[in-house]
Amino acid sequence: MITPTLPANELARLESLKSLDILDSLAEETYDSITKLASEICHTPIALITITDSKRNWFKSKIGTSIPETDREISFCTHAILEPSELLEIPNTLKDTRFSENPLVIAENGVRFYAGVPIKDEKGLPLGTLCVLDSKEHHLSQSQKEALKALAKQVELLFEYRRKNQALEKMKNDLDETNRVLREFASTVSHDLKMPLANMIVSADILKAKYSNIMDEEGVNYLNYLKQAGLTLSDYINGLLDHYSSNHIESVNHQEFFLNDLLEDIIDLLQIAENCEINLPDNNLKIHSNGAALGQIFMNLISNSLKYNQNDKIVIDIDCNENREFFNFSISDNGIGIPEAKQASIFDLFTTATDLDRRGKKGHGIGLSTVKKLVASLGGSIRVISEEGKGTRFEFSIKRTIPVD
């Protein structure tokens, strides 16, 4: 028996194998289907997908044997990976000096035939093989060899997908951790700022009430600016808290309610002025969903329709319909509209469609990002249709849920 030498790139090969994180993983149907095909095509009782570690040859998938691994020193595959671009075929192991005294060969019903195709990573480093074995002499036809090579390519693709999935999972975990830290930071800072801001706003009112008679117009204006700045920052903080608390609002129990009742409660909260006409849906849908989330969605959208409108009379139309899977809603207005160039990013955090609202205040770009998150949490989607100067229409859906008795 001849012990195989180590590949010249052994350290890099082992590093690649380690990053794949596949050793001792559970059996997977996608790999087992390949070994089954290899066995059928090559007419051999045994087929393996092997992974060559530093000390062992581990079987990711196996057909025709219950052995999970072999020592690397006596492995046929350790010879196969020395020529990563070639198929290694040994028709009769007893006639090959490399294997004639191998324990796997001289054992009862030992291996007489071996054919293996190296499985490589994206850099061409061999990680293992797809191989077929038999207890009697065997010869592969050219078509069988080509088929075995093709199946080995499929294993390489599975390895590549595994790496990509791992990268995506790591990216997701990193993003989740980053978002968690940001949520905690935003919540902590926001709560810590709310009380000083409230004190600043109240102090401005007290100073104005007590001393405006001895202050000139410029001094009074400064107090007004101070109060307005405090209110603006307070709105910003409240928006941040709403945005990050929306991560958990979907956990609220679902309930049954009528849509128009929900909308009327929102209109009462917003204290709509007389110069505004809000047309509710003709069909008052009975909805089973997260009322808190849906209410926050409509609160943001109606509030935007009120703020970004320069007409003497504001008109807001709300409509709805349902199908087997979704409740579908729309809210349209006769406001200032959204420039086409900004429509693609309007749901991004801190993105605003216009500089100033109806009262000359600048938006913070939090509301629509929160709306999109809430809609997604309810299993739906949202889009905007708008023309600058002619109004805006938001269309969104939420997935129907089945009431639980």
Percentage with pLDDT > 90 across the chain: 53
Nearest to 91 by CA among 117, 114, 118: 114
Assign 186 a pLDDT band (cuts: 50, 70, 90): low
DSSP string of 268-283, one letter each residue: HHHT--TTEEEE--SS
Q: What is the mean pLDDT of residues 230-242?
A: 65
Please enumerate in sequence order all residues whose Cβ is within 8 A of that of 49, keeping only pairs 6 or more positions apart, or say none: 31, 34, 35, 59, 60, 61, 62, 119, 128, 129, 130, 155
Q: Tokens representing 207? A: 């100073």
The amino acid at residue 179 is N
Q: Which amino acid is at 186?
A: A
Note the pLDDT tens digit of each residue in 4-50: 889 889 999 999 999 999 999 999 999 999 999 999 999 999 999 99
Tokens linked to 23: 């050793």
Burial 292-311 (b: 16+ CB within 10 A, else e): bbbbbbbbbbbebbbbbbee
Whole-number Å distance between alpha carbons of 344 and 199:
39
382 alpha-carbon distance from chain centroid: 18
Identity of the residue numbered 180: R
Do the beta carbons of residue 7 and residue 82 sit within 8 Å? yes
Q: CA 16, CA 10: separation in Å to the nearest integer?
A: 10
CB 388 within 8 Å of CB 317? no
pLDDT at site 201: 81
pLDDT at 241 over 70: no
Minimum mean pLDDT among 15-19, 66-70, 216-220, 359-363: which range?
Answer: 359-363
The residue type found at 136 is K
Domain boundaries for CATH 3.30.565.10 within the chain: 250-405
CA distance 396 to 376: 10
Q: Is 79 left (phi over 0), alpha (psi -120 to 50) or beta?
A: alpha
What fold is seen in the domain 250-405?
Heat Shock Protein 90 (3.30.565)
Instruction: Output DSSP code: residue 365.
Output: S
Q: Say whether domain 10-164 belongs to CATH 3.30.450.40.
A: yes
pLDDT in tens, 86-145: 999 999 999 999 999 999 999 988 999 999 999 999 999 999 999 999 999 999 999 999
- In the chain, ranges of CATH 3.30.450.40 domains: 10-164
User: How many CA atoms, within 13 angstroms, populate the side-chain half-sphere of residue 279?
Assistant: 13
Q: What is the pLDDT of residues 327-379, one digit of tens each?
A: 999 999 999 999 888 888 888 877 776 666 666 666 667 778 888 988 998 99
CA distance 197 to 213: 25
Q: Provide φ and ψ at 393, rounded to 5°.
A: -130, 125
HSE-CB of 188 using CA atoms within 13 angstroms: 6
Average pLDDT over residues 175-196: 70
CA pair distance 27, 355, nearest whole angstrom: 57
The whole-angstrom separation of Cα 288 and Cα 255 is 5
